[in-house]
Each structure stands twice: as C-alpha cells, then as structure tokens.
Structure 1
Amino acid sequence: MATSPLMAAINQIADEKGLDTAIILETIEAALAAAYRKDYGTPDQVIRAEFDPETLDTKMFEVFSIVEDALIEEPAHQITLLEARKVRKSAEIGEEVERPLPVHADFGRIAAQTAKQVIIQRLREAEREMLYAEFKEKENTLVNGNIQQIEGDIVIVNLGKINALMLPTGQIKNERYYIGQRIKVYIQGVEETAKGPKVIVSRADTGFIKALFALEVPEIASEVVEIVAIAREAGGRTKMAVTAHQEGIDPVGSCVGQRGSRVQAVLAEIGDEKIDIILHSTDPERFIANALAPAKPLSIKIDEETHRATVEIEEEQLSLSIGRGGQNVRLASKLTGYSIDILREGQTDEEAEVKTEATPVADEIVAETAPEIETATESEPEIEADTETAPATETETETTSEVTDVTEAPESRES
C-alpha cells in the first residue's frame, strides 16, 4: 500500500528530529482538537481527535468525567452516572465517557493558527524530553565534542544534538581552548530548564580521569581492575588507587601498560598534569604509606576517632613527602580520607611540619551564572604528553618499569 504524502511528511519529521511517529500523530490530533474547540466548541470543553494520516479521516469526541450528581461543578466536561450510562452501559463513577461530535472539514484562520502553534509547541517539548532522556543516560560518561563558542570564561561544547557548558570549575588549569577544537569531556550533570536540557561537562572532574583509564585499560572496563579512589588537582597532579579482583593481575601494571603506553595515552589528553598510580590497601597504614609515595614513611600512627594519621619521615624524604606547595600530602589526604600530619624524624605532634584536613574526593558541580543555550546539531587539541610521576623531583619517565617503581608502595605490593 502506497504511503500518503502526509504520512511521508510525518516520517520525514520523525527521522529529522529523532522522534517516534506516534508522538507526531498525537501532536496532530491535539492540534486538530484545539482548532475544533476554537471554531466549533467552547473553551471549557475537553475534546479529543482521532486522525488517520493515510485516509485523512478525522473523528471528534467530547470527553466527560463521570461524577456524582451533587459534585458537578463544570457541566462542560462533567457528567452524572445516569447520563453516562446512556452513552456506555458499563460506565462507573471516576471513569470517562466520550460523545461523538459533528465532523467539520473547514476551519477559520485563527483556528488554523492555533493548530499550528500547538504542533510547534508539542514537537518542541517532545524534542526536549527526548534530548533530556538521552543525555541523562550519558551522565557520568566520556563523550567527544568540539568547541563551538567561548563566552568569557565559559566554554560551549557541541555534543552533536545539543550544546553543553564547560564552566571554569570544569576546566583544566592553564589549558587553552579555541573554537573548532575537538576534545573529550565528561558529562557531569544534566538539568531540565524552561529552555530545554542544560548539560554541564567537565575536564577537571575526577570522573574524567576514571573514564579515560576505562577507555585505555580493558581490565578496568571489564571490572577485573578497579579504581578504588582518586584525588585530583586538575592541571597539576592526580593520585589514583587501584586494586585487582582477580588473582595474578597486577593492577598498577595494567594501568601503566607496556612501556607506559596506556598511561601515556591518558597523559596525552590532559597535557602537563601528572599521574601517580598506587596500590590500594584495606590496611589504613599501608594505604597511607602508598599514597605518600615516592616518600617512604618511618612510622604511621592512626587515630580512628579523629580519622587522623601522624606520619614520621626521614629528613631526606621530608620535601618528597610534602611535595611542591604541599600537593603530595594534600592529595594523599584526599585519597585516603585521613587528615595527615607530617613529622620530621624525632619531632612531636605539636612540631609537625605539615598538617592536612581530609576533604571529600568527589567533585561537586558548582552553581554559577551561565548563559542559557539552545540545542544544536565537531582539530585535535594542541597538548604535549609528558609522563612524570615523582611529586617532588619532577623527573620524567618513559619505560613501564620506571613508572611502576615510582608509583609502587614503599612496602611489597599486594595482588
């Protein structure tokens, strides 16, 4: 059977907007009902239309809610049970009944304009709902996009069907962005707004690093290796604790890759940022010692009540444990969840060189004033890979063995 021109047009709209044809048909029926009410009905009436796009036949029905006699307040769309049973014998209170209305083939200019507005509005709402559902499913995942616009310190990234916002809090420090640049971004959140879904993306979120490693390390994607915790100062350094759920698997080596190939691929995406991959341990002392690598603590005392760790370090290892600007110990504290006090060998708690307070690892979406953007329909970033792992010495490494040596725990590794 040949498809009618109208049905062909409906199918074309459905393909272009990614909508179901049933939604478009419902929209047409709603528009016909609105036009009918405008020319031949009253504003209080509830009218439903049935439309066949092949034959173009239209049927109109007046819809009534069945209520008790004493509760009728809107006669235009309420009916008593006695009257309803004249239409349908099985009708009961609380249900609805429909009465057929005379069919009119001609509508006035105002009614036609009303129908047009209903179709435009309904299709726009359906498209927004579809986009919201699609990108809500992609929340906390990595996607490709290209930079479409830069408004002040806010970067607008085109994701294909929609534009996303990368706020200053989601940008890597000292990273340059330019229009037309292709980049990977992490979908941090999707919000519903009056102008459609708003997608917030980030390259500074810890989830961005996790997603990059999941992309490069099959063992993480298959959940044989797990990233247990991650602490990050975007543009500076990331510390990542990993463990294996299968005997014989080296989680650190899996993330580093042969001759550092896997970690190099991640570093190529984040520029000058450094990554420390350490072995996770359920023993807090071991975990804290690992997190402070490459420094090797002499002793670690844990106070579980205050969730504070006091770490004694040799004089030669002191700057290594603290790191540039206190970054190493600060990230170790975030990674382990313990406040860490660094003591020089022989010092008392009151004489601690550095004291840190544990802070949550997870990044939060910071509410900022951002321009509303509408949905829309993507050259490689100029980033140099630089594999570097020692927090204090800033030494660069190239081979797998060197990376592993720096990121291993001071004690023997676990499997």
Structure 2
Amino acid sequence: MLNIKELSKAIKQVAEEKGLSPEKIMEAVEMSIAAAYKKEYGQRGEVVRARLDEKTGDMRFWQVKTVVDDSTVRFVAESEEEETANPTPSLEIEEEGRLPRYNPERHIILDDAKIIKADAALGEELIFPLPEHEDFGRIAAQTAKQVVLQKLRECERESILSEWHDKEGTIVSGIIQRYERGHVYVDLGRALGVMFSAESVPTEHYRAGDRQRFLVLAVQDDTRLPGIVLSRAHPK
C-alpha cells in the first residue's frame, strides 16, 4: 500500500509550484501506475486503468474494452499471418485506409457487449475488474514517487529558466565544472550552463574550478535541449 499521506503532500507541493490542479497530477500518477501494472501482469494490446483511493491508498484496476462490430474493426482469420504493426487503440480508420484490427484484449463485439449491458453501443467503453496483486504495492509506490519527482524536476527547471530568461544577452560569471567532448559545462549557482565547442575560443584552455565570464547566448525551455547556452567567442 502506498504511503498516501506522503504522496498527497508531494502532489500538493507540485500543484502549488507548477500551478496545476492536484487532480491532474493524481491522474498522471494513476496513468503511470496503470502502465506499470500492465507491464507486470497485462497482455499485449490490453488497456488498463487504475484508481487510487486518496484516503486509504488502496488501488483498483480495470481492463477497458471498446464495443465494436465489423463496421469499425476488421476481423482476421487465425491462419492469416500476424501483422508487425502494433494494434491501434482507437476506432479510427488507419492511414492506409484500413480499419484497425480486432484485438480481443481491447475490443468487445457488440453482441457480446449487449449480454453484459443491454443498451451497449458502438464506441462505448466497458470496464472489467482486474485482480489485485500483493507484490504490486512496492512497484506502485516506486512509480508514484518517480512521477512526482519528475514533476518536481520540471518545476525546478522552469523556475530556474524563468530567472535566466531576463539574462539572455548579458555577461555572467561562472565556475567551470568539467570539459567533455569539446563542450564546457559551467556552474552558474542554481543552474548549469553549457558552452559548445563552437562558442569557445580556440586559444583558451578551460580547467575545472576556473572562474570565467560568459555571454548568455540562449535560454531554452525545451527539455530535450540544454537550458542555458553560453559563449566566449560571440562578438558581443
């Protein structure tokens, strides 16, 4: 079972710092827990949803199946060669003009659905309880912690970069942390900057621990890119 008090406290902190609703963060936690459950116990193509009780820390899981018929999916004989593409989760027609392939792990035929729910309709989602596993509590706790920590890291990065946006184009002082593959990494206090080889001066030598002055060339919000780009070769 999760330590729900600690999780709730962490979610509240992230929500306040990131300006998000706690419900949105809890939704991200539940989605990650569902993905972890599927990885441990699920089948290929299966759609799993999780619900975490915010008062007790108890978890429940469901398999979700979409109601279909031959107008929304295509049925393939068992003897037909398996396709290499992953099953398509939606009911939309595939790009090549074919309907998504029927997958019993994520689809339920309309006639069968009506046995369970008399007024079942095409496109409707039916849920089926999944078994609980005592050994999953530890995995769920780790997953929830990772999600919250990731959100906290995002908050910290956004906070730091928001401070540095105003410094773009200015000269700052920093301590060289390391030299790696031609690039220089610089300790700027709360932030870490990088000076790519093209922005360094060929005649200069950069040693860890040295303090230098740098131009803040760019501040990038994209998490796939270095946040603060520095230069010593820029004409400015």
Report TM bin, short chain: 0.5 to 0.7
Alignment of 1:6-405 (within 5 A): 6-12=7-13, 14=14, 20=20, 21-22=22-23, 24-34=25-35, 36-37=37-38, 41-69=42-70, 71-72=74-75, 73-84=102-113, 86-87=116-117, 89=119, 91-93=121-123, 96-101=124-129, 104=132, 106-108=133-135, 111-112=136-137, 114-115=139-140, 118-119=143-144, 122-123=147-148, 126=151, 131=157, 135=161, 138=165, 141-142=168-169, 146-151=174-179, 154-159=183-188, 162-171=191-200, 179=209, 181=211, 183=213, 185-188=215-218, 190=220, 197-199=225-227, 201-204=229-232, 234=235
CA RMSD of aligned residues (A): 4.7
Partner letter of residue 115 of structure 1? Answer: A
Are 1:52 and 1:58, in contact at CA under 8 Å, matched by a contact in 2?
A: yes
Deviations 1:289-320 (A, max 9, x none): xxxxxxxxxxxxxxxxxxxxxxxxxxxxxxxx
CA shift for structure 1 position 171: 3.7
Aligned pair in 2 of structure 1 residues 15, 27: CA closer, same or farther (>3 Å)? closer
Aligned residue for 1:28, secondary structure, equals helix
Contact kept in structure 2, 1:148 and 1:157, CA below 8 Å? yes
1 CA distance for matches of 2:140 and 2:206? 45
1:146 and 1:181 in contact (8 A); partners too: yes
Deviation of 1:204 after TM superposition, in Å, equals 4.6
**Secondary structure class of the residue paired with 2:29:** helix
Residue identity in the other structure for 1:158? D
- In structure 1, what is the Cα distance between the partners aligned to 2:15 and 2:191? 17
Deviations 1:21-60 (A, max 9, x none): 4564234313442454467654542111122323434343
Unaligned runs of 5+ in 2: 76-101
Which runs of no fewer than 5 residues in structure 1 stay unpaired?
A: 207-233, 239-415
How far is the alpha carbon of 1:97 from its aligned partner?
Answer: 0.8
- Rg larger in 1 or in 2? 1
SS of 2:9's partner is helix
| TM-score, L = length of structure 1 | 0.36
| Secondary structure at 2:226 match in 1 | strand
Question: For residues 239-288 of structure 1, what are the alpha-carbon distances to aligned partners after superposition, in whole Å with 9 as ceiling and x for unaligned?
Answer: xxxxxxxxxxxxxxxxxxxxxxxxxxxxxxxxxxxxxxxxxxxxxxxxxx
Task: Summarize the Cα distance change of 1:183–1:44 in structure 2 as closer, same or farther, 3 Å threshold.
Answer: same
Percent identity (aligned): 24
Q: Which amino acid in the other structure matches residue 230 of structure 2? A: S
CA drift at 1:62: 1.7
Cα distance change on mapping 1:76 and 1:202 into 2, 3 Å: same
Preserved CA contact (<8 Å) 2:33 2:144: no
When residues 75 and 139 of structure 1 are mapped into structure 2, their CA distance, relative to the original with a 3 A threshold, is farther
Partner-residue secondary structure (3-state), 2:227:
strand
Structure 1 residue 177: deviation in Å?
6.5
CA distance 1:6–1:118, change in 2 (3 Å):
closer
> 1:276: which partner in 2?
none
8 Å contact from structure 1 (residues 132, 190) kept in 2: no
Instruction: Tell me by how many angstroms 1:100 deviates.
Output: 4.3
1:139 shift after superposition: 9.8
CA–CA separation in structure 2 for the residues paired with 1:49 and 1:117: 15
Aligned residues: 198
Judging changes above 3 Å, is the alpha-carbon distance between structure 1 residues 15 and 44 closer, same or farther for their aligned structure 2 residues?
Answer: closer
